[in-house]
């Protein structure tokens, strides 16, 4: 199978390197120097320093070249540029080629999930999302991990599962696309909250409370949008939430931790190579919550913090709300 992976960040590069030994794989990098490093040096020092990529993996800075012969297209660019990249490759896609999203977020303004953006820009293509607790550097190190392919197309699901499953990286199927994508997007907001707690030194008990209440929040919003509750107890929900909130490799957790230590958001983001999706997702989550008449206290607090309206040190009490919510749910 010929596969095109669009986006040479840490996760896009990892996925491309993972499938390249068994499938003809081309990675698209916006920066020609990154494309050259991947093809010639089998490395991506900007996003995966110290790791050697599959020798079979080739890269290009030409979008059309990357996708024109692809049987499967995988998109791992940030949500802010997702639609633009799709529009640029639309005329080059083979009519029947499935399109898989690696991006975990929601489009600002439209509130669309990434598979919905795919359907809108390139209608007629089978769509899916690959999600779950997948820290790129751990997978590159050969550590065991599990992911979920979310799609409503049973035939496509089975085919894509076989493409991505390799060794100790296992892929499971889930037909609840809404739940899987909402879990992947909203956990980034909760991870910022968990990171703030780490930066403030609040302790594990408090951070555990924030994570569990955060899971309840994202479940309420996901279910209101048509997701299945059980999805949020699985890899795409609780699994991804735990990894993102706890891992020192998590970008969103790192942003929260620096905020908790008193640093300005602008300075934190300026130092980062990669995008912390939760910074923008908080606002979109609140807009969706308003539409569905839901109260999301943690998302509300994080939205205020990233907008500079609330100081992290003074806001953290609001991340563990008391008195107006009951367990469970």
Residues known to be catalytic: 187
Nearest to 217 by CA among 291, 105, 298, 279: 298
Q: How far apart are CA 95 and CA 126, in angstroms?
A: 10
Please report where in the chains the tokens 């081309």 appear, as a residue. 26
């Amino acid at each position: 199978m010929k596969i095109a992976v669009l986006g040479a960040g840490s996760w896009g590069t990892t996925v491309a390197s993972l499938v390249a030994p068994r499938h003809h794989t081309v990675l698209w990098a916006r920066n020609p120097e990154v494309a050259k490093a991947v093809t010639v040096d089998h490395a991506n020092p900007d996003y995966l320093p110290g790791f050697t990529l599959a020798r079979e993996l080739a890269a290009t800075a030409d979008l059309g070249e990357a996708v024109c012969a692809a049987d499967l297209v995988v998109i791992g660019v940030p949500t802010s540029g997702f639609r633009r990249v799709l529009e640029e490759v639309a005329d080059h896609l083979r009519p029947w080629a499935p399109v898989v999203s690696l991006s975990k977020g929601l489009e600002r303004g439209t509130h669309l999930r990434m598979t919905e953006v795919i359907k809108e820009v390139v209608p007629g293509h089978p769509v899916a999302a690959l999600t779950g607790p997948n820290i790129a550097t751990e997978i590159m190190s050969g550590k065991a991990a599990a992911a979920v392919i979310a799609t409503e197309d049973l035939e496509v699901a089975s085919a894509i599962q076989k493409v991505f499953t390799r060794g100790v990286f296992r892929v499971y199927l889930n037909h609840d696309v809404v739940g899987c994508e909402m879990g992947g997007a909203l956990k980034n907001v909760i991870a910022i909250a968990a990171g703030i707690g780490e930066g403030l030194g609040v302790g594990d008990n408090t951070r555990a409370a924030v994570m569990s209440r955060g899971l309840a929040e994202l479940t309420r919003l996901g279910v209101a949008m048509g997701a299945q509750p059980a999805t949020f107890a699985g890899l795409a929900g609780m699994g991804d939430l735990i990894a993102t909130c706890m891992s020192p490799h998590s970008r969103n957790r790192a942003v929260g931790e620096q905020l908790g230590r008193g640093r300005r958001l602008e300075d934190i983001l300026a130092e980062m190579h990669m995008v912390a999706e939760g910074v923008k997702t908080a606002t979109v989550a609140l807009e969706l919550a308003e539409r569905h008449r839901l109260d999301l206290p943690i998302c509300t607090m994080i939205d205020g913090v990233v907008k500079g309206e609330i100081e992290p040190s003074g806001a953290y009490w609001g991340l563990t709300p008391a008195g107006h919510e009951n367990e469970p749910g």
